[in-house]
Structures are given as C-alpha cells and as structure tokens.
Amino acid sequence: MRTLPKRLKKGDTVGVIAPSSPPDLENLKKALPFLEELGLKVKMGNSVEAKNGYLAGTDEERLADLHAMFEDPEVAGIICAGGGYGAARITDRVDFGMIKENPKVFWGYSDITFLHTAIGHYAELVTFHGPMLASDVGKEEFHERSARMFGQLFAPFELHYDEGISTLIPVSRGVAQGELVGGNLSLLRSGIGTKFEIDTKDKILLIEAVNREPDDVDEMLNQLRLARKFEEVAGVVIGDFKNSDPKRPDESLSLDHVFDHYFKDLGVPVVKGFKIGHCEPHFSVPLGVMAKLDATEMTLTILPGVE
C-alpha cells in the first residue's frame, strides 16, 4: 500500500508549481482567493511565471521547483497551476527517494498524470487527480462541486460516486476492487515502454482525455491493449472525454463504438460517464488507494487519500 500524505489544516502553506506549460497568470491570480478561503497560505514556485516556449521555464527550473516544494518543511502540500506539456521531460531526474522521505499532498491532472504514475510507483505516495489553479479554479465556470472536492485534503473520508452526480453507463458488467490508478489517456500511452509505464495488474484504471477524436482514442487504447495493460486489469473507470466528437461523423466510428470494441468483452466492470477530467464539475480522486467499482449498482467508492 502507498503512503497516505498528512491531511491539510487551516493555516498550512501550499506550494504552487508549474511542471508543464506556462499557466494563464490572470486565471492563476483569480484562483488564489479560493485557497485563502480554504484557510491556506500560498508559496509560489520560482518558475510559475517563467516562459520557455511551450514550457514554464527550463527543465532545470521546473524540476528545482518540484524538489524545493517537497523538501521545504513549511510546505504541507503542492498544487499544480496547470498542465499542457512538459512534466515527462523532467520525470527521469526526479528524486523519488527524497519525495518518499517527505510525503505530502500532490494535486493536479492532465499532463501531471505522468508525475502521478511515477511518484506512485517510485515514491509509493498517494497523489490526487483534481482541478488545477489556472486551468480550472480561476475560471468563471469553476463548479461548486469541484470546489467541495478539495475538502478531502482536510479530513479522511470515503468518496462515493453514483448516478446522482452524472448518468453512468455500463460497458461491461461486474464488481471489482483494486487500487485506483491512471489519469489522462495520452500520458498513460506515452509512458508505455519506459520505466514509468502504468501498472494495471489488479488495479482499477481511470482514463480521461480532451480534444481527442475517436480515431486518436482508438490508437491510444490499442497501444495499451498491445502492451497487455487490459489483460489483468480489475476494472476501468471511463472519465470525461471532452471535445472528442468526430469532426466528420460520417467518416468516423463513434467514441462509444471504440469503448465497446476494447471493453465490452473484457470480463471486468467497465463504466463510462464519470465527471472526472477536463470537465465541470470535476470529481477529484486520490490515486493509489483502494476503490470498488460496481457496474451493476453504478457506483464507485474510494477510500480516503489522507491520514
């Protein structure tokens, strides 16, 4: 089992970093009062305002921020400002031993998926798949339910997802328990063949994506299939696939057809329709804790992510 980070409490300081692309600084500024409302103080990473093309500073600067926030005893948790691209460029130089010695809340999604997978495997730490400051919190459409999901960082409680939140559709029936892993599908695919490859054996796999047409999703799922990632998976949680409708429907398979092709005969529970990913509301989840997926009752239950 992975280490649970200590819960946050009012008065704690959280570090804000940008391991990937430059965040929208205006949106980031708008998001900071939300953290203050949670009773948190903010320490900004040195590279958050830096720009190096499509990266938030050099690889060295972004890596230094990540390390500094984990090493800083005054920082109780780390929240990513945004995603984009770039986290994977620094992952092979991350000091996972240091992170393992300094376990704390680490929160983000999208491109941060690559770090989630690596930290979970090599630092054995539970991390959190949730909305980011500039990408989500600082926008007008940030949903009240998304905001409430930050409460799981302050007290250990089970998360329960049912059809009261969104319509859930079974692709394959069954009930399974396992450690919840995964995140953004394109980042899971990009880890295949590397030392940061996702381990899906006996796990419940979460997948989500944005701006990917059905043929792109098909390609990524097929690579996971060929890498044998579905052979011993316990179950699959299909999150939000925003902006994934084909631009030319008459020349494309539907996304539902693609999911059916890979999952309908998998023999384990697979459920689609979860509001997890690039969506509002965004149901935040801890990665690396035990979960139960019930494709008959249409429920997902997840154990607490903090101690």
13-153 architecture in CATH?
3-Layer(aba) Sandwich (3.40)
- Quick one: 226 exposed, middle or buried, by C-beta within 10 A (0-12, 13-18, 19+)? exposed
| 159-302 CATH fold | Glucose Oxidase; domain 1 (3.50.30)
Mean pLDDT across the stretch 199-207? 98
Q: DSSP 3-state assignment of 55? A: strand
- Can you give the pTM of this predicted structure? 0.97
Enzyme catalytic residues: 110, 208, 278
List the structure tokens of 120: 């979970």
pLDDT tens by residue, 267-285: 999 999 999 999 999 999 9
Helix intervals (H) in 162-242:
185-190, 214-226
Q: Where are the domains of the chain?
A: 13-153, 159-302
Average pLDDT on 44-60 reads 98
How many CB atoms sit inside 10 A of residue 223's CB? 16
- Separation in Å, CA 72 to CA 8, 60, 86, 144: 15, 18, 23, 31
Mean pLDDT in residue range 157-174: 98
81 neighbors 14 (Cβ within 8 angstroms): no
DSSP tag of 134: I
pLDDT more than 70, % of the chain? 100
Q: So what's the pLDDT on residue 269?
A: 98
